[in-house]
Amino acid sequence: MWRFLGGRIAMGALTIFVTTVAVTLLIHLVPGDPVQIMYAQSQGTTPEQLEEIRRNLGLDQPIHIQYLAYVGKLLHGDLGYTIRGHQPVLDVIMQRLPNTIALAVAAMIVAIAIGLPIGFFAAYKRGTAVDTGLMVVAITGVSIPHFWLGLILLFFFAVELGWLPVSGTGPLNIVLPAVTLGLSNAAIVARMTRSSMIDVMRQDFVRTAEAKGLPKRVVLSRHVLRAGLVPVITMMGLQFAYMMGGAIVVENIFAWNGVGRMAVEAIFQRDYPVIQGFILTFAVVVVCVSILLDAVYALVDPRIRRA
Amino acid sequence: MTIRMTRLGRTLAVAAAIGVAAAAAAQARDIVWARYGDIDTLDPHRATSTLSLQTWSLIYDTLLATDATGAPVSNLAKSWTSNDAGTEYTFVLQDGVKCHDGTPLDADDVKYTVERAFDDESPSVTQASWGPITNVEVIDPHTVKLTLESPFVALVPFLADSFSSIICDSNKDADSFGTSTAIGSGPWKLESWTKGDKIVLKKNPDYVNFGKLAENKGAPYMDGLVISVVPEPQARLAALKTGEVDIAEPPFDDVPALKESGELDIVVAENTGQNVFWEFAVHRPPFDDERARLAVGHATDAAMAIELIYGDLSIPEACPVSRGVFGNDQDFCLQYRPNYDPEKAKALLAELGYGPDKPLETTMIVWTGGNRQKLAEIFQAQLAEVGIKADIEIMDIGTMNARVRQENETPTGKGSMDMMTWSWYDPDILYALWHSPGAYRGYTSPELDAMLEKTRVLTDPDERKAAVQDVFKVLLEKGIHIPLYTPGWEWVFAVRPEVEGFKVAPFVYPIFNDVTIGES
């Protein structure tokens, strides 16, 4: 078990390293540098002063030197300063990261609360009109763009009914973005649960359990559900990571103050330290979630521990 | 399974209940102004974005202010004089002005601000706009003298702009200056700034309005002002409709319907200084020849295109610096700007060997957003009428700036033109754009350089105006900078009907001092 986890952690560290290198290289391929953008559309500095500012920010150095300097500071726990406004990147990210995680968790709760029972029920009723009906709903759910669903929910619940606030970051404000993000993921969870449960229902041990004369309820909850959940958990882990990154559209619609929106702004402003900080944080979160999942996975399924 | 779900349901219900309680606790009535993005910093020496500038203008005050036409007037400085050579400026400050922490605002604060902008370690990002200041001298607590190495007339309008916000010297000891500390003497005090979310301001009860464009001579009428971030235009509109937000930029396509229904008032900023114009990659064919550039000018019917896309929200502009900026004169510029004349455009193109069988091919680079892509499509159709085939490329402003410079530095290839957008409070902007080496490495010439240098040093307003207009003439006649329209971005405000007294000063500075909110 520990050897297994150790291996996963080493792989995770490598993933994070490769990601940061790739991002540093890629971001410099995009035309325009942050100093130029900061002075776009308003005059105020001579070309010589722009060069001076670039020098102060270390932007005149070759990319590999910039990267090494970045890693050097990183090892001291220093993510650098934002180019816009000169503030510590760590503070800027940490102010928003809890909001993004809260949104992803809330959306996950919505997705599970809706998707799991639907998928399970559809599997139970497989081949019937109920099954087909539920899956049509699920496919529709996957196909609806966040942008459209978000605006519809916003106009209905916030403008027409006035039950919920339109935008901002707060306890009541989380409902609409979480539902928007959760609903489309609920559809994915439902489909995944259904196919996984159907697979399990066809297996020998389920038939044996039924043959033993166990009540249907016990067979479903104790045998089918438990075995069928393993792939669903994996998929939910991936979905969680996706929701943290993919929440950008939803964050924008509802003005939810998360890291996704911050990252998009930073990309437009070529604020390299913020982009690097975001990718690093994101990579760490995704890697941690996947290691955690592997651990859960190993606990649920003893065969994995030994592999 | 059933048990798990019930627990979950209970947790959700509890969470929702806590949420309702928290929301009910915060129900005080402030002015809420929503914008698409956040500020970079509260430190006026560390950013250049309009969003930041507008916020500084609420917290800090400036030595001078602008009148409705954009001209500088007295403010914190009740008077100012300069020597004949234009190398010394002396400002006499108002009596009894207090910083937000209660300390008096005096000549030391002005000295602190200017010296901070010229700090060797970390100078202001707009240091050059202050001009070649070599010394700041406190003559007495209410008199301060700036000495310049050489004359720089753009200093005066600069001192009316928020870039030159007077920072109280009590900020000196605060490490958090710019993030959670910002002591100024403006109408609003900083309460808090949650990055990416909102800035909360409270009224400054000691505020006295000396020169800002507000009728209210004292503190703002409302107790608080919240500047919140709502990036999505449709969400801003929704928040305006529910009353969550009082003032915000609406989605363009909804403006006519809003005006018609009277549901929201529409306020349009005037004298913004924003200039949208054609410019060209001039170091290679076809636009190395001024006839090709002028053909584009003659083929463009800006008035028609603007009418179609913006209705009466924007207007054609004839001068290279827009209304509100020193030297702007529509009649003067119209004499030299290539006017809409498709036949003349065709004749010029024929001279260059282009015709129906051989169109002039170019890319047209356009900044994304603000319905500019639709405007570009109309221009594209107008150009096609005379035989110019333009391929539109839409991009964000950062990419666009890099790309335009790159096009100027590339000696071969297809023609390139772009719909550029700049704003500044003084014609000195033209120095940045067209004096060697040029902001985008575009058109420059020794003659134009000399003319631009003259605009920086002439202290007599009439002489300077003539010099500035000489520059206009060259830019327009040679088709270097062909103005299209003004304003161009972030200038339309939708306001809830119960909000009274909201106005926007020149250069898009909203003023909240007169605002009152009645029953909705």
Could you read off the pLDDT of A241-295 as tens digits, one per residue? 777 776 788 888 898 998 888 888 888 888 888 888 888 888 888 888 888 877 8
A116 pLDDT above the threshold of 50 = yes
- SS3 for A122? helix
Q: Which of B18, B126, B238 sits opposite A171 (nearest CB)?
A: B18
The CA distance from B126 to the nearest CA of chain A, in Å, is 5
Report how far residue B238's alpha carbon sits from residue B260's, in angstroms, rounded to the nearest whole number.
17
Instruction: Give the residue on A whose Cα is nearest the Cα of B53.
Output: A42
Q: Is A136 exposed, middle or buried (0-12, 13-18, 19+ CB in 10 A)?
A: exposed
Tell me the mean pLDDT in the region B284-290: 95
Determine phi and psi for B391, rounding to 5 degrees. -100, 120
Q: Please name the residue of chain A whose CA is at the shortest distance from the CA of residue B46.
A: A85
Torsions phi, psi of B152, nearest 5?
A: -150, 90
User: What residues are paired with B267 via a beta bridge?
Assistant: B493
Rounded-to-integer distance, Cα B57 and Cα A189, Å:
50
> Which tokens hold the place of B411?
């000696």
Residue with tokens 């270390």: A58
Question: Where does the pLDDT of residue B27 fall: very low under 50, low under 70, confident under 90, or very high at 90 and above?
Answer: very low
How many Å apart are CA A191 and CA A141, to the nearest integer? 11
CB contact under 8 A, B15 and A171: yes
More confident residue, A72 or B89: B89
- Chains A and B form CB pairs within 8 A to the count of 184
Q: Out of A45, A109, A159, whose CB is closest to B242? A: A159
Q: How far apart are CA A117 and CA B43, in angstroms?
A: 53
Q: Is the pLDDT of residue B450 over 70?
A: yes
Q: How far apart are alpha carbons B167 and B56 in whole angstroms?
A: 10
The mean pLDDT value for B464-489 works out to 96
Q: Do A113 and B437 touch (CB under 8 A)?
A: no
Could A253 and B238 be called an inter-chain contact, meaning their C-beta atoms sit closer than 8 Å?
no
Confidence of residue B22 (pLDDT cuts 50, 70, 90): very low
Q: How far is B128 from chain A (nearest CA, A)?
A: 5
A262 at interface of B, judged by CB pairs closer than 8 A: yes
The confidence score (pLDDT) of residue B23 equals 39
What pLDDT does residue B26 have? 36
Residue B303 has pLDDT above 90, yes or no: yes
Mutate to test the interface with B, among A35, A36, A39, A43 (most CBs of B within 10 A): A43
The partner residue sitting opposite B125, judged by closest CB among A44, A120, A165, is A44
Given an 8 Å threshold on Cβ–Cβ distance, is A41 in contact with B229?
no
> What is the per-residue DSSP string for A76-124?
TT---B-TTT--BHHHHHHHHHHHHHHHHHHHHHHHHHHHHHHHHHHHH
Nearest to A167 among B18, B50, B239 (CB): B239
The DSSP element (H or E) to which A210 belongs, if any, is: helix A204-211
> Measured between CB atoms, which of B127, B242, B424 is closest to A43?
B424
Does A268 contact chain B (CB < 8 Å)? yes
Nearest CB to B401: which of A32, A120, A268?
A: A32
Look at B7 and A237; give whichever has higher pLDDT.
A237
Residue B502: partners with Cβ closer than 8 Å, 6 or more residues away: B247, B267, B493, B495, B510, B511, B512, B514, B515
pLDDT, position B46: 85
Q: Is the pLDDT of residue B391 over 80?
A: yes
The DSSP annotation for B126-137 comes to TGGGG-SEEEEE
Q: Could you read off the pLDDT of A283-299 as tens digits, one per residue?
A: 888 888 888 877 877 77
Question: Which helix H or strand E contains B114, and what residues bound it?
Answer: helix B107-117
Determine the pLDDT at residue A44: 53
A231 touches chain B (CB under 8 A): no
Interface test with A, best of B242, B400, B441, B453 (most A CBs within 10 A): B242
Q: Which of A61-65, A96-100, A187-191, B143-147 has the least mean pLDDT?
A: A61-65
3-state secondary structure of B393: strand
Note whether A43 contacts B429, CB cutoff 8 Å.
yes
Chain B closest-CA separation from residue A272 CA (Å): 13
> Residue A7, Cβ neighbours under 10 Å: how many?
11
Q: What is the pLDDT of residue A285?
A: 83
* Mean pLDDT for the stretch of residues A100-111: 91
Q: Report the relative pairing of strands B415-423 and B503-505 from DSSP bridges.
A: unpaired
Q: How far is A4 from chain B (nearest CA, A)?
A: 30
pLDDT value for B349: 96
- Mean pLDDT (chain B, rounded): 90
Q: What number is the average pLDDT over the span B459-485? A: 96
Assembly ipTM: 0.80
Check: CB of residue B46 under 8 Å from CB of residue A199: no
CB contact under 8 A, A96 and B195: yes
Q: Is the peptide bond before B286 cis (omega within 30 degrees of 0)?
A: yes
Q: Does B24 score more than 60 pLDDT? A: no
Residue A106 CA, chain-centre distance (Å), reads: 12
Average pLDDT for A6-16: 87
Q: Which residue has the higher pLDDT, A51 or B268?
A: B268
Q: Does A100 contact B at CB distance below 8 Å? A: no
Above 60 in pLDDT, residue B199?
A: yes
pLDDT of residue A297: 73
B168 has a pLDDT exceeding 60: yes
Asked if the C-beta of A31 comes within 8 angstroms of chain B's C-beta atoms, the answer is yes
* Gyration radius from chain B CA atoms: 25
pLDDT at B8 over 50: no
Give tens-digit pLDDT for A28-77: 777 677 777 766 655 555 666 677 777 777 777 888 888 888 788 887 77
> Does A41 sit within 8 Å of B422, measured CB to CB?
yes
Residue type at position B491:
W
Give the whole-angstrom CA distance, residue B327 versus residue B320: 10
Asked if A243 has any chain B CB less than 8 Å from its own CB, the reply is: no
Helix (H, G, I), strand (E, B) or coil at B383: helix
Q: Tell me which residues of chain A, numbers 142 to 171, contact chain B at a CB-CB cutoff of 8 Å.
A: 151, 154-155, 158-159, 162, 165-171
Question: Which residue of chain A comes nearest to B424, CA vs CA?
Answer: A42
| pLDDT at site B520 | 64
Give the one of A85, A120, A255 whose C-beta lies nearest to B40's C-beta.
A85
Report how far apart the first and last C-alpha atoms of chain B are (Å, whole number): 49
**Residue among B303, B301, B285 nearest B293 (CA):** B285
Task: Quote the mean pLDDT of chain A.
Answer: 82
pLDDT, residue A46, reads 64
Q: How confident is the model at residue B21 (pLDDT cuts 50, 70, 90)?
A: very low
Q: Is the pLDDT of residue A127 over 50?
A: yes
Residue, of B207 and A12, whose pLDDT is higher: B207
Contacts of B40 in chain A (CB under 8 A): 82, 84-85
Count Cα neighbours of B189 within 13 Å in the Cβ-side half-sphere.
14
Quick check: A45 and B18 CB within 8 A? Answer: no
The band of A184, judged by pLDDT with boundaries at 50, 70 and 90, is: confident
CB atoms inside a 10 Å sphere around CB A174: 22
Q: Tell me which chain B residues have a C-beta less than 8 angstroms from the C-beta of A45.
A: 125-129
Read off the pLDDT of each residue in B114-141 and give the average, rounded to a whole number.
Answer: 90
Q: What is the pLDDT of residue B7?
A: 44
Is B368 or B108 the better-scoring residue by pLDDT?
A: B108
And the tokens for A76? Answer: 């001291």
Which has the closest alpha carbon to A194: A134, A111, A113, A107?
A134
Reported as a single tens digit per residue, the pLDDT across B40-78 is: 899 999 888 889 999 999 999 999 999 999 899 999 999
Record the tokens describing residue A44, joined without a space: 């105020």
Helix axes A272-300 and A259-269, enclosed angle (nearest 10): 140
**Torsion sign across C-alpha atoms A115, A223, A296, A194:** negative
Mark yes or no for CB contact A41/B1 under 8 Å. no
Alpha helices in B194-301 (DSSP H): 233-242, 255-261, 290-299
pLDDT band at A210 (very low <50, low <70, confident <90, very high): confident
